[in-house]
Amino acid sequence: METKTLSILNISCGHCVMTIKRELEELEGVSQVEGNPEKKEITVSWDAPASFEKIKAILKEINYPAAD
């Protein structure tokens, strides 16, 4: 299992975190998504077939791109 914490500058509230969580959990292999709106971060845990690239693509698609 891989886990990464990503900086998401567009997060402004708990609703943003819930939107991200709902979208990422639809990706097969994603097992956990936690967010912190104060720090503007999310932590994602996943196994294959999910990948970091797929997670970043979904975030960009839903207008919550990860900061590089």
Evaluate if pTM is beyond 0.85. Answer: yes
Domain that holds residue 41: 2-61
Q: What is the CATH number of the domain that holds 35?
A: 3.30.70.100
pLDDT for 67 beyond 80 = yes
pLDDT at 17: 97
pLDDT tens across 42-60, in order?
999 999 999 999 999 999 9
The structural domain count of the chain equals 1
pLDDT for 68 beyond 80 = no
pLDDT for 6 beyond 90 = yes
Whether the Cβ atoms of residue 33 and residue 43 lie closer than 8 Å to each other:
yes
Q: Does 66 fall in a domain?
A: no
Q: Does 68 fall in a domain?
A: no
pLDDT at 16: 96
pLDDT at 10: 93
